[in-house]
Amino acid sequence: MELNKARHAFVTGGASGIGFAIADALAAKGVPVTIADNDTEALAHVIADRSGKFRGQALDVRDRDGWIAARAASEAAFGPVDILVNNAGIGPDGRGFADMDPKSFDRMIAINLVGVFNGVSTFAAALREQGRGHIVNVSSTAGLTFSPQGAGAYTVAKHGVVSMSETLRTELAPYGVGVSVLCPGLVDTNLPRSTARISGDPTGAAARMPEGSIDPAIAGKLVARAIERNEPYVLTHPEYWPGVEMRLRAIEAAFHAQSEN
C-alpha cells in the first residue's frame, strides 16, 4: 500500500528496538503512529520526545480485553488503523524442552505467538471490511530454520508466527489487505532487558544473549519498504541463509526418499 495514504499505524512493542524503528520509519513517511507497549516508563520517555505523529498506549499483548480498549482509544485519537505491526516479544529462556519450566513455555507462547493472534483478531476483520491495509508480524530467522540450543519454545512460537502470516496473507489478499512477516537475525535491541523484566530471567539466558549485529533502523526501513511493495517476507541478515537452506534441503531429501520407495 502507499504509505502516504495510510491513516494510522498501530505498533506493539513500539517503545524500543525494532518496534520503535518501524514506528519511526512509518512516521517519516507521514503516518500517524500509536506506539503500544507494556513498559510504561519507556513508553512515556518515547512519547515525551515526540509530538503530533505519535501517541502512547499501554498494552500487554496477552490481554484480549486490553486489545479492544487499546483499539478504541487509539482510533478515537488517530482514526481507523490501516497498518498493524505485531512486534512485541521476549527472548529464549535458555532451557531445552526436557528441563523447561512449563510456566516459561506458556509465557513464551502467550506473548510471542498468541499475542500476535490477539492483534490479528482485533484488527484483521476491520481491515478486510475496509478493503485496504497491511499487517506485519514479527517472527525471527529462528522461525525459518532449526532451533538453536536452549531456544526451543522461542522457535516454536516464531515458526507459528511465520505460518500464521503465510496463511493470513492468503486469506486477506482477495480483499486488498497485505501481510508481511519480518524474520530478523540478531539486531541491536534491548530484548535481553525486556525479557528479564517480564520473565525474571531465572536461568540467566537473557543476560547471555549475543549482541545484535545491525541497527534496528535498518529493519524499520525494510519493513516500510515491504509494506509499500507488499512483500511476503522481510529479512535482515542474508548471511543466515545457509541455516535456512539446510532445513529446506533436509525436507526436500525426505520427500525424495519417499518418492523412491
Mean pLDDT by 10 residues, the chain (261 residues): 96 95 96 96 89 89 98 97 97 92 96 98 98 98 90 95 98 98 88 73 66 87 98 96 95 89 66
Q: Is the pTM of this model over 0.85?
A: yes
Domain 3-259, architecture per CATH: 3-Layer(aba) Sandwich (3.40)
Instruction: Tell me the C-alpha to C-alpha distance, in Å, between residue 34 and each of 11, 64, 219.
Output: 6, 18, 18
**What is the secondary structure of the chain as a DSSP string?**
--GGG---EEEETTTSHHHHHHHHHHHHTT--EEEEES-HHHHHHHHHT--SSEEEEE--TT-HHHHHHHHHHHHHHH-S--EEEE-------S--GGG--HHHHHHHHIIIIIHHHHHHHHHHHHHHHHT--EEEEE--GGGTSPPPTT-HHHHHHHHHHHHHHHHHHHHHGGGT-EEEEEE--SBSSSHHHHHHHHH--TTSTGGGPPPPSB-HHHHHHHHHHHHHHT-SEEES-GGGHHHHHHHHHHHHHHHHHHHT-
All structural domains of the chain with their residue ranges: 3-259
What pLDDT was estimated at residue 205?
67
Selected catalytic residue, list 154, 175, 233, 240: 154
Q: Is 240 a catalytic residue?
A: no
Q: Are residues 26 and 3 in contact, defined by beta-carbon separation less than 8 angstroms?
A: yes
What pLDDT was estimated at residue 53?
79
What pLDDT was estimated at residue 209?
62
